[in-house]
């Protein structure tokens, strides 16, 4: 019987794994529900998930970003992340509002003086990856966002305008972030990960956030640089890319950049069965179980039918890693979570 790692690698290589690999993440409120229902605090072990993870660590000291908010009244509970983005409590589950430290920048020099963080993948990550492999698990590592970090530093409207009016500033911002992602991608590959994980939400419900040509100009070359850097270290590493929404217009570009695993494939935005027919020989699909439809609003039997159909059709020759298309929110009934995993077990038993 294949190990969990072997099943992951088989499906990503478009071989039928017998039992399809799966994962599920939880928002804080949903995680508390998991703990109450199971008595466990480890979903990966409880549900038999096949992936374990390594990742980068910050090597720079914590910077003081207060001067970028000197004229703003940040409410109690605000936190500031490594890149200086202020996260303001929104009083709605795990969501928050954002304030942008570079929103008023008007010169390249302001970016050059900015206290950028730095990251590396520690040598110990290789030991962790080897231990996971010896235990039979596949290993993934997330190297970071490029577009998302950039607009959360600058502001989305401002960055979009910079693409047109202040190209030098936009390029500097994206390149500084890309340098970190490339370094982390190399480190994750060097540590022995099976899957390099990259991602930027560039899709809306029914279209891209920007034109395909703008994506091609600004984001494609930087994404490709990260993918190329990882494959220069390990040519066999799988490269996973996360973007919500409808991104059909750039799927060929993602593949050209080196992506061979697409996540999360929201069925409310893109039909996974159509994508399987068009790209399934060279692109694996990771996700596909809708968190805007089936999981929160379907019955347990409807969840099972959706999972079985995905296995039978999208996964007919591998290329499928089953997961909800988002971390599970509190609106997902517990019986539907159980049904998701039961359906995968049922399919494995035949």
**Which tens digits make up the pLDDT trace of 6-33?**
999 999 999 999 999 999 999 999 999 9
pLDDT of residue 258: 99
pLDDT above 90: residue 95: no
Task: Indicate the average pLDDT of the chain.
Answer: 98
The two counts, helices (H) then strands (E), for the chain are 15, 12
Quick one: pLDDT at residue 350? Answer: 81
> Rounded mean pLDDT of 269-288?
98
In this prediction, residue 230 carries a pLDDT of: 99
The residue among 304, 292, 291, 290 whose CA lies nearest residue 335 is 304
pLDDT at 92: 72
Helix axes 147-154, 167-190, angle to 10 degrees: 140
Contact present, 282 and 318 (Cβ < 8 Å): no
> What mean pLDDT comes out for the span 166-193?
99
Give 24's contacts (C-beta < 8 A, 6+ positions apart).
43, 47, 49, 323, 324, 328, 337, 340, 341
Retrieve residue 240's tokens: 């996973």
Q: State pLDDT tens for residues 321-341.
A: 999 999 999 999 999 999 999
Domains defined along the chain, listed by start: 4-61+120-349 (3.20.20.210)
Q: Are 193 and 121 in contact (CB under 8 A)?
A: no
Contact 296, 332 (CB under 8 A): yes
Is 191 within 8 Å of 125 (Cβ atoms)? Answer: yes
Query: Residue 90 — very low, low, confident or very high, per pLDDT cuts 50/70/90?
Result: confident
Does 94 score more than 90 pLDDT?
no
Residue 91 scores a pLDDT above 80: no
For residue 102, how far is the Cα from the chain centroid? 25
Element containing residue 43 per DSSP (H, E) = helix 43-46
What residues are paired with 98 via a beta bridge?
87
- In this structure, the dihedral spanned by the alpha carbons of residues 151, 28, 325 and 293, taken in order and rounded to 10 degrees, is -120
Q: List, in order, residues 6 or more apart from 91 with CB less than 8 Å away.
A: none
Place of tokens 């936190």: 79
Q: What is the pLDDT of residue 149?
A: 99
pLDDT at position 56: 98
What average pLDDT score do residues 250-270 get?
99
CA atoms of 51 and 23, how far apart (whole Å): 8
- What is the reported pLDDT for 279? 98
In degrees and rounded to multiples of 5, residue 50 shows phi and psi of -95, -15
257, pLDDT greater than 80 = yes
Q: What is the pLDDT of residue 209?
A: 98
Q: Closest Cα to residue 288, out of 321, 250, 259, 261? A: 321
> What is the model's pLDDT at position 130?
99
Cα separation, 23 vs 13, whole angstroms: 18
Question: Quick one: average pLDDT of 92-120?
Answer: 95
Residues near 223 by Cβ (< 8 Å), separated by ≥ 6?
Answer: 146, 198, 200, 241, 254, 257, 259
Please give the full DSSP string across 116-131, using - where no structure is assigned.
Answer: ---EE--THHHHHHHH
Residue 164 CB coordination number (10 Å):
9
pLDDT of residue 33: 97
What is the model's pLDDT at position 112? 98
Phi, psi of 103 (to 5 degrees): -60, -30
pLDDT in tens, 105-118: 999 999 999 999 99
Q: Catalogue the E-assigned strands of the chain.
A: 51-54, 57-58, 79-80, 86-92, 95-99, 119-120, 138-144, 195-199, 238-242, 261-263, 284-289, 320-324
Q: Which of 39-53, 83-97, 169-183 has the lowest mean pLDDT?
A: 83-97
DSSP assignment of 294-343 equals HHHHS-HHHHHHHHHHIIIIITBTB-EEEEESSPBPTTS-HHHHHHHHHH
């Amino acid at each position: 019987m294949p190990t969990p790692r072997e099943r992951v690698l088989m499906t990503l290589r478009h071989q039928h794994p017998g039992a399809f690999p799966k994962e599920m993440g939880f928002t804080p409120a949903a995680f508390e529900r998991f703990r109450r229902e199971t008595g466990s605090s480890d979903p990966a072990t409880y549900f038999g998930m096949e992936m374990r993870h390594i990742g980068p660590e910050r090597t720079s000291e914590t910077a003081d970003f207060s001067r970028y908010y000197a004229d703003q009244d940040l409410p109690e509970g605000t936190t500031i992340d490594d890149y200086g983005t202020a996260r303001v409590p929104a009083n709605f589950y795990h969501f928050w509002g954002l304030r942008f430290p570079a929103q008023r920048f008007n010169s390249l020099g302001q970016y050059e003086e900015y206290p950028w963080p730095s990251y590396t993948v520690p040598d110990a990550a290789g030991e962790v990856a080897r231990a996971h492999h010896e235990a039979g698990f596949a290993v993934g590592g997330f190297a970071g966002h490029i577009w998302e970090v950039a607009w959360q530093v600058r502001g989305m409207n401002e960055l979009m305008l910079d693409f047109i009016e202040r190209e030098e500033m936009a390029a500097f911002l994206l390149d500084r972030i890309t340098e970190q992602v490339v370094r982390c991608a190399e480190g994750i590959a060097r540590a022995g990960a099976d899957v390099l994980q990259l991602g930027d939400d560039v899709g809306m419900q029914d279209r891209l956030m920007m034109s395909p040509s703008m994506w091609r100009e600004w984001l494609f070359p930087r994404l490709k640089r990260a993918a190329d850097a990882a494959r220069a270290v390990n040519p066999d590493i799988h490269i996973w890319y996360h973007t919500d929404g409808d991104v059909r217009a750039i799927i060929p570009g993602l593949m050209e950049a080196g992506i061979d695993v697409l996540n999360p494939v929201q069925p409310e935005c893109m039909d996974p069965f159509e994508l399987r027919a068009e790209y399934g020989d060279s692109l694996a699909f990771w996700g596909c179980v809708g968190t805007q439809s089936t999981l929160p609003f379907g019955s347990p039997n409807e969840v099972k039918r959706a999972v079985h159909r995905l296995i039978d059709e999208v996964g007919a020759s591998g290329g499928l890693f089953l997961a909800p298309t988002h971390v599970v929110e509190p609106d997902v009934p517990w019986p539907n979570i159980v049904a998701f995993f039961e359906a995968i077990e049922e399919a494995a038993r035949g």
